Amino acid sequence: MKNRIDLIKGDITTLEVDAIVNAANKSLLGGGGVDGAIHIAAGPDLIDECKSLNGCETGKSKITKGYRLKAKHIIHTVGPVWYGGYRDEHELLASCYQSSLEIAREQKIRTIAFPGISTGIYGFPREMAALIAVSETRRFLMKNKYPEKVTFVTFTDDNYETYRRLLNQ
């Protein structure tokens, strides 16, 4: 299992993987944070394909081409806004990982990279989000051949340390 999960600190838009996951909003038409950075790096063709997808519900995922990115695909997933944990936020975030990994399995995507979904402007507590990310990914990989490798990508040192701690347990 350990050799199937990796952790790096860096910019997800620069990774050479089969797919990167975008922490998208419901419109899929770009926004701030990781979402905005991915849309800028992928170029204007991404917005055209996203328009054809008619948005996405919270906890669900949809796939597009990667366009100008090194990644061949982008799996867009809509994480929950944090309301204190009283609106099924935990289950919805778990569903983001499950649905993204399921698309990767169906498409036989070998390598996939995840940002910290919902931990930016959506306000999900980072420690809790990382725990959900790691546990859902481990559970999925135990039962499935694809993806062969999952990389968690953090932007800050403290978030990197959180994931490192969880992955070493």
Tens of pLDDT, residue by residue over 154-167, are 999 999 999 999 99
pLDDT tens, position by position, 25-83: 999 999 999 999 999 999 999 999 999 999 999 999 999 999 999 999 999 999 999 99
CATH number of the domain to which 91 belongs: 3.40.220.10
Q: Looking at the predicted structure, is the pLDDT value of residue 1 above 70?
A: no
Let me know how many helices (H) and strands (E) the chain has, helices first: 5, 6
Mean pLDDT across the stretch 118-133?
97
Q: By the 8 A CB rule, do 20 and 152 touch?
A: no
Q: Is the pTM of this model over 0.95?
A: yes
Look-up of token digits 């309301």:
83
Which domain range does residue 118 map to? Answer: 2-167
What the block records as the tokens of 1 is 């299992």
CA separation for the pair 3, 129 (Å, rounded)? 22
Q: By the 8 A CB rule, do 11 and 64 touch?
A: no
Number of domains in the chain: 1
